[in-house]
Amino acid sequence: MQNQASYITFLTRLADNNLILGHRLSEWCGHGPELEQDIALINVALDLIGQSRFLYQKIGDLEQKTEDQIAYFRDAGQFYNLLLCELPNEHFGTTILRQYLYDQFHYLVLEQLISSSDEFLVSYAKKSIKEVEYHVMQSKAWVIRLGDGTEKSHQKIKASLDKLWPYTDEFFMMDSVEDPLLEAEKIKKQWLVKVNQTLSEATLEAPEQTWPQKGGKWGKHTEHLGFILADMQFLQRAYPDAKAW
């Protein structure tokens, strides 16, 4: 078994991915291309934020903190989410592709955690995988629709793919924090098979991986995260005396 600090980092990475991506998705609330899509995106956002809470509460138990202290009183350097999760929404194509690339990875991670020896992670994974199964279905269907839709949609999502692809390698860069709990190589192999299948249905092709963008997992972020935190943490930071909201 790992030491506690490493276990907490493991949980924090999972939680931060979900919170930051959930926040990004919530920015679509009221702005989706159709009412149904608006509602669907926000459903996913709520699931992810809910999953992050489950993890922050566990971390809170271990560190004697509240979930709010963990979410609202850390600065960018103490967030350990994947860089992909903090990238801007841009248009619907970029958002839904970012979502698919993450959902597919997220699903495989949870699948492995279900058979881990850690009771908490098993319960977390069992609860979450039901939701993530649906997330994959939804984002995958849209990647295929846009890739295989019109010439315009094809070009747009192709450009999104070129832009997002360099951020996917970070998924599989696992270190001593994750090694005891996840098999990176296996996840990477399965992920590539699934993603290539989907891309081919979408008449797209994975670009060559040239220079991976990485750092979020170790607290080194893009310029975007600070703005997310400013938006997200404003009230708690502006009124630190308030005991409840």
Partner 1 sequence: MNITSGTEEEVTMDEIGTITDFIQDEAGHGLYLYSAMETLGKSRDQSLQELIDGKAKYSSIFNYPTTSWADIGAIGWLVDGAAIVNQVALQRTSYGPYARAMVKICKEESFHQRQGFEIMMTLANGTKAQKQMAQEALNKIWWPALMMFGPSDKESVHSQKSMAWKIKRQSNDELRQEFVDMTVPQAELLGLTIPDPDLKFNKKTGHYDFGPINWDEFYAVIHGHGPCNKERLEARRKAQEEGEWVKEAALAHAKKQRNLNAA
Distance, in Å, from the CA atom of 153 to the CA atom of 160, rounded to the nearest integer, reads: 10
Distance, in Å, from the CA atom of 50 to the CA atom of 1, rounded to the nearest integer, reads: 27
Find the binder of partner 1 among 126, 145, 189, 220 (CB under 8 A).
145
Query: Would you give the DSSP letter of residue 209?
Result: -
Q: Is 135 in the site for partner 1 (CB under 8 A)?
A: no
CB closer to partner 1, 39 vs 193 = 39
Query: Would you give the DSSP letter of residue 173?
Result: -
What tokens were used for 37? Answer: 């899509």
What tokens were used for 84? Answer: 């992909």
User: What x/- string results for residues 23 through 62 when contact with partner 1 is judged by CB under 8 A?
Assistant: x--xx-xxxxxxxxxxx--xx-xx--xx-xx--x------
Backbone angle region of 186, left / alpha / beta, with phi > 0 → left and psi within -120 to 50 → alpha? alpha
Query: Is the CB of residue 41 less than 8 Å from the CB of residue 7?
Result: no
Quote the least distance from Cβ 49 to partner 1, whole Å: 6
Those residues with Cβ within 8 angstroms of residue 176's Cβ, 6 or more apart along the chain or in another chain: 6
Quote the least distance from Cβ 157 to partner 1, whole Å: 9
Quote the least distance from Cβ 67 to partner 1, whole Å: 5
Quote the least distance from Cβ 169 to partner 1, whole Å: 28
Name the site residues for partner 1 (rule: CB under 8 A). 23, 26-27, 29-39, 42-43, 45-46, 49-50, 52-53, 56, 67-68, 71-72, 91-93, 144-146, 148-150, 152-153, 156, 231-236, 239, 241-245
